Structure 1
Amino acid sequence: MRLYMKYRLKEGPAQAAARAGFSAATGYRIDQDRRLPSQKKAPRARRRPDPLAAIFDTEIVPLLQSAPGIRPIAVLDEMLRRHPDLPGNVRRTLERRIRDWRALHGEEHDVMFRQVHEPGRLGLSDFTEMDSLGVTVAGVALDHRLYHFRLACSGFEHAHVILGGESYVALAEGLQNAIWALGGAPREHRSDSLSAAFRNLDADARKDLTTRYDALCAHYGMQPTRNNRGVAHENGSIESPHGHLKSAVRDALLLRGSRDFDNLGSYRCFIDEIVGRINARNGKRIELERALLQPLPVQRTCDYEETRVYVTTTCGFVLRKVFYTVPSRLIGHHLRVRLYDDRLELFLGGTALMTLQRGRAGPNGKHGHVINYRHVIHALRRKPMALLNLVYRDQIFPREAYRLTFDRLLEQLPQRQACRTMVELLSLAHEHNCEAQLAQALQQCLDDGQLPDLDALCSRFEAKRTNSMPEVNVQLAPLSDYEALLDDMATEVTA
């Protein structure tokens, strides 16, 4: 029919009908009524009575007007409560009717405005939870997040494993790692207002955090911006890639066949490899945008918080609800602490002392402990009974086998003898540097149902240490050789 009407513009009914492939009579009939066949069909009439006719305008519409966000299923439940004789199979009819009413009379929706991203202009940072993936390190569940950086134009990504919550330290470390890996800095950096970092902070602390963040961006020549609080889609250029990155990590874990890693470093390498594959797909665009980035400064700026602590007579200090042990010779000193996301660096004046693993307080506010038995073992040897009711007794054991051994000793020996034996075992591990080997020997004793023989273990590991020391014979040169060298040098000078 469309072909006939096309030819009918220039030809008569018979000629147009012949070209369209039907009779001239059909052509004359079409000329009398030029509506399409689909337009001639009568509207489909209702085949059964409308079950909502009596209540939609009088009850459902006022309900939708008073509570615009109510769900259709809630409306149905309310109508069934008011009208028990209403059939229960009207759910789809009610949902369609409500959807049509809201399209005509409902509230206006928020509109997403697609943006043109200029190369080298915008970089975004955000954090995403990773606990749902069930990653473990040495059999222990890893409570962590990912710091995620992305360039809006080319799609360059960088991810960094964060052990604590959202904080300035985590943002500063992750952002600088991303910028230095990229080789340049964008002109603008956007974050999500660091809502978790600002939580529970007073006004002065919030101002200090904002000042440090502004100084960090100024160091790299970036303009700091934030999206409106609670409006996540304003950071859509990184919120959506969050899901893609987590899906890629989940798939890689399934292909790997295990979610357990030997240590945190191997897990971080695993994440870097996944992000590297994502960046390889966008390699050409990244190279084009890299040429338009700002040059980096000579060096990084600080990505830590600094504070001072006092080492008490307990051979340690408390920082952020976590007790850390240090060598007892530091008791009574004030130490300078650089607080990173995963570690603490200790300084005595300007002298670097050591690096400690950062601990976290418990979820219910319970104090945490980061204990190194080597710091206190010399004192425990003088006071072995202190081990019995020690506040951080479980944390002082370097491996699980030591803790299980002490439990076995307490079951089968008097408390004084059990404490003394356990302290001597820890001292043996410290003095002979055989912590792992001694743990294996203790685990074997536990499996055999026997108590450890302290004398036998001391003899065993002392013998190993003696045998491991090689005998070195040094043949000294005679002094006459040196005198001959001096005579030769004097002869050369004279000549």
Structure 2
Amino acid sequence: MPGRHITDQQVRLYMNARLTRPQTNAAAMAGISVATGRRIERDPRPPSARKEARQYRTHVDPLEGLWETVVVPMLEAAPGLRPVTVLGELDRRHPDRVTPAIRRTLERRVRAWKGLHGPDREVMFPQTHSPGRMGISDFTYMGKLGVCVAGVPLDHRLYHFALVYSGFEHGEVVLGGESYTALATGLSQALTILGGTPHEHRSDSLTAAFRNLCIDDAQDLTRRFAALAAHYGMVPTRNNRGVAHENGAIESRHGHLKDRIAQALLLRGSSDFTCLDDYRTFVSGVIADHNRRHAGKIDIERAHLRALPPTPAATWDEASVRVTSSSGFSFRHAFYTVPSRLIGHRLHLHVHDERIEAFLGAALVVTLPRGRAPAKTAGRTTTHVVDYRHVIGSLRAEPGALAGLSYRDALWPRPAYRRAWDALSTVRSARDAGRTMVGLLALAHDQGVEADLAVALAAILDAGGLPGLADLRARFMPASATLPLVHVEMPGAGSYDRLLSATAMELAA
């Protein structure tokens, strides 16, 4: 074509076609003119073989006088210097020589110099993995997906486990940080689903992952994880601190898993979930679809896994607390209420990632949701995990304490109760508002109508009214029934003699 240079491929195509076709057809097949075809036949060398190396420059070298005298000595003294750093130094020393056009030239020259004279670089060694040999796990941050639960953004992580050979994956939604309980729970769940354990488990350096711990706690954490791995018969290994690519088999999977979840959210049409369990089910479904696609290799790997131990692993932290006169205890910047009968007792806690189990001796007395302070205020504020049922008996006797109660805002079981308090405290005295709200909580507790009462409160408030305790009691408390009058006629003593005589005659017969 006019104005366009022919390529080596066009020359080869033309010459091959000329073996069986006329010149016109061969030129058309190669996309060239007949005249170009004649020139090719006169000199069949490809264009690349005809070019001669140019022995002169077509542009002025922007680094002339600077490369050998300034830049090369800098690189020899510090081979790790980046081109942008060198450019900044040149601008400082020779401001009259540095122009925007010099950067690309400098980058190209530095790259070529490092290829010829630079230090050896770190080599990545590809590995061949055998089935059943290695499992890997790590945490990955999921906040950028924009997931919401009941309209509230969910700041969370995902514990991610995978088998290197087959690609089996398991994920657990983690609300707190990277804790031992989250790691141990997620790993135990993954191995239970697999039905076996790999020979080796690799993770990030624990002391790096949990860098907020003191030295003693970090060492204790490492010992506990070693004990967990020993329980499952796995050899624990870890990559070097700060070298994430050594655990690259899981790092790359993080991105793929988050991409699959993001795509599934797009197909779903919404990233808002009614409750946390719905989101957990959604994530489990995405991972299950991935595992189904790798079912063949997963079945092969299962045959090489070691058997699970007969007893489950201890995946919780332990602590001991004393229940105060406030009918609660404080643990890790959170205050928890418990039944008031436990005041003065010392409870032994099993601290899981999402719940706390409290034992009195060997008896489980209460299970509480795990409380955590917001991430930006963790360690500076106290979170309250309150169940009004634990304290309603004492509040009923002392309703005036409600107004100044330190955890009052956490006491309300549903939003409608909070709205009722706000409305009542606006127009009534704190004492009267407290009596009404304590009465409503007692009504919800005694009659088991917490949800129905919340619906009634919301309807009253939406209509612009205020809840009346007497009306709501009449509505939700069963009406007292009048007992019927029962007349009991006592038989005479002589009737017993006749009964005994009849019985004796039956026995004689």
1:192 matched to 2:200? The reply is no
Q: Give 2:125's aligned residue.
A: 113
Structure 2 distance, partners of 1:173, 1:343, is: 12
Per the alignment, do residues 84 and 385 of structure 1 end up closer, same or farther by CA in structure 2, a change over 3 Å counting? farther
1:46-445 equivalences under 5 Å are 46-65=57-76, 68-80=79-91, 82-84=94-96, 86-195=98-207, 198-363=210-375, 364=377, 365=379, 366-445=381-460
Structure 2 distance, partners of 1:336, 1:36, is: 85
* Percent pairwise identity: 54
Residue 138 of structure 1: how far off its partner (Å): 2.2
Residue 143 of structure 1: how far off its partner (Å): 2.4
Structure 2 distance, partners of 1:316, 1:457, is: 30
Higher mean alpha-carbon deviation, 410-419 vs 102-111, is at: 102-111
8 A Cα contact 1:187 1:222, kept in partner: yes
SS of residue paired to 2:100: coil
Alignment deviations for residues 251-283 of structure 1 (CA, whole Å, 9 cap, x no partner): 111111122222222211111111111111111
SS of residue paired to 2:289: helix
Structure 1 distance, partners of 2:77, 2:412, is: 63
Per the alignment, do residues 151 and 382 of structure 1 end up closer, same or farther by CA in structure 2, a change over 3 Å counting? same
Higher mean alpha-carbon deviation, 45-54 vs 128-137, is at: 45-54
Per the alignment, do residues 447 and 121 of structure 1 end up closer, same or farther by CA in structure 2, a change over 3 Å counting? same
8 A Cα contact 2:384 2:410, kept in partner: yes
Q: Give 2:500's aligned residue.
A: none
Q: Which amino acid aligns with 1:316?
A: G
Structure 1 distance, partners of 2:292, 2:302, is: 14
SS of residue paired to 2:477: helix
For structure 1, the residue ranges without an aligned partner over 5 or more in a row are: 4-25, 468-495
8 A Cα contact 1:122 1:186, kept in partner: yes
Q: Give 2:51's aligned residue.
A: 41
Residue 47 of structure 1: how far off its partner (Å): 2.2
8 A Cα contact 1:166 1:194, kept in partner: no
Structure 1 distance, partners of 2:157, 2:328, is: 29
Q: Which amino acid aligns with 1:394?
A: D
Structure 1 distance, partners of 2:71, 2:404, is: 68
Per the alignment, do residues 197 and 72 of structure 1 end up closer, same or farther by CA in structure 2, a change over 3 Å counting? closer
SS of residue paired to 1:171: helix
Alignment deviations for residues 163-218 of structure 1 (CA, whole Å, 9 cap, x no partner): 22222211211111111101111111111122455423334323322222122111
Structure 1 distance, partners of 2:448, 2:215, is: 50
SS of residue paired to 2:130: coil
8 A Cα contact 2:206 2:222, kept in partner: no
| Equivalent residue pairs, number | 442
Alignment deviations for residues 136-165 of structure 1 (CA, whole Å, 9 cap, x no partner): 222232222111111111111111112222
Structure 2 distance, partners of 1:208, 1:126, is: 19
SS of residue paired to 1:409: helix
Residue 243 of structure 1: how far off its partner (Å): 0.6
Residue 59 of structure 1: how far off its partner (Å): 3.3
Higher mean alpha-carbon deviation, 223-232 vs 377-386, is at: 377-386
Q: Give 2:463's aligned residue.
A: 448
C-alpha RMSD of matched pairs (Å): 2.8
For structure 2, the residue ranges without an aligned partner over 5 or more in a row are: 1-7, 13-38, 482-509
